[in-house]
Amino acid sequence: MNRIKLNSDVSFSRIVYGMWRLADDENTTPAHVQAKIEACLAQGITTMDQADIYGGYEAEEVLGAALKAAPALRDQIEIVTKCDIVAPVGRYSDAKAKYYDTSRAHLLASVDHSLRLMNIDQIDVLLVHRPDPMMDHQETGAALDGLIASGKVKSVGVSNFKRHDWTLLQSAMNNPLVTNQIEASVVAPECFTNGDIAFMQEFGAPVMAWSPLGGGSLFGDPLSPMLAALNTVAKAQGVDATAVAVAWLLAHPAEIAPVMGTNNLDRIARISDATKVEMDRETWFALYTASIGAEVP
Ligand SMILES: NC(=O)c1ccc[n+]([C@@H]2O[C@H](COP(=O)([O-])OP(=O)(O)OC[C@H]3O[C@@H](n4cnc5c(N)ncnc54)[C@H](OP(=O)(O)O)[C@@H]3O)[C@@H](O)[C@H]2O)c1
């Protein structure tokens, strides 16, 4: 599995494993989580994507229990986690509304929670989960630089940011933002034309693509033209539609790292099939045509 270099200290595996649904699995035992991580590692997938809010603020703890039971795993993986969403559940049950908090106090407290829950000393990449309309960029930027200086966080990126959100925060930081995690897939292709991917290419920072299978919606209608188009390519290349949907993202020159969310061990074991798919320009556009529902003008 190829890797993507974020800076001199941090690199990602080309495909990332996402843990949003980790706490929703009927089996959350440390042994089962370890089996998922090992199935990833066997394919060279070393990057695990978390967020404080996943599983109602419980998914980090599920990972932490696995890392406690099998401490040798820690040095074989990179851990990405996110913060700034405060939802009235779990430790924030008393919140009067769902909101974003990029204040220094909230960021520092969130990082301490994440480190403790995951049983780790350092987060490899901390992402600001959602752009905060009340962000004081000077305060947020200084807090994020401070977290890197403290050693609690190796590097910082963002998620769901538009170009203006990125440049505002970056203008108040000494450390470069390393990535933006956005929605991108054959069922969410807008990012390829609305500037979201373009500005990342311009800034030379790789993109992380969340819900690369549309959160499973890709498989909702077995007769959909999108699935038929994927299956045509899949059949010709001896893989399944998932591998082709992921390969479609991998083929783009923006260095897109798909973040896969399956809880199914068999599917996890086949994630890297995507790297075997040949995706030439014509095939890419045939799938893009199915994705946007029309031939390009
Ligand atoms: N930054 C953000 O704002 C943000 C937002 C959303 C997600 N994320 C990240 O992105 C990761 C991936 O998101 P996601 O879970 O939505 O990704 P996804 O890979 O697009 O979707 C995973 C879902 O699709 C289902 N699925 C996969 N293959 C299937 C198949 N062949 N047939 C039927 N269902 C299938 C899975 O079910 P099974 O478990 O049964 O396979 C699972 O429920 C998350 O874990 C999280 O790390 C980030």
Catalytic residue from among 17, 54, 57, 100: 54
Say what percent of the chain tops pLDDT 90.
99
Domain extent listing, the chain: 179-297
Say what percent of the chain tops pLDDT 70.
100
| Assigned token pair, 87 | 């939802």
Q: How far is the CA of 89 from the centre of ligand 1 (A)?
A: 22
Mean pLDDT of 77-97: 97
3-state secondary structure of 3: strand
Beta bridge mates, 153: 123
Cβ atoms within 10 A of the Cβ of 18, count? Answer: 23
What is the pTM for the complete model shown? 0.98
Architecture of domain 179-297: Alpha-Beta Barrel (3.20)
Each residue of 242-283: pLDDT tens digit?
A: 999 999 999 999 999 999 999 999 999 999 999 999 999 999
Mean pLDDT of 3-32: 96
Handedness of CA 242, 245, 246, 247 (dihedral sign): positive
Host H or E run for residue 249: helix 241-250
Q: What integer pLDDT is reported at residue 259 of this predicted model?
A: 98
User: What CA–CA distance (Å, rounded) separates 134 from 123?
Assistant: 25
Q: What integer pLDDT is reported at residue 161 of this predicted model?
A: 98
Residues with a CB atom less than 6 Å from ligand 1 = 18-21, 49, 159-160, 181, 210-216, 219, 242, 259-264, 267
- Give φ, ψ of 81 to 5 degrees: -140, 170
Each residue of 122-180: pLDDT tens digit?
A: 999 999 999 999 999 999 999 999 999 999 999 999 999 999 999 999 999 999 999 99
The residue whose CA is least distant from atom 11 of ligand 1 is 18
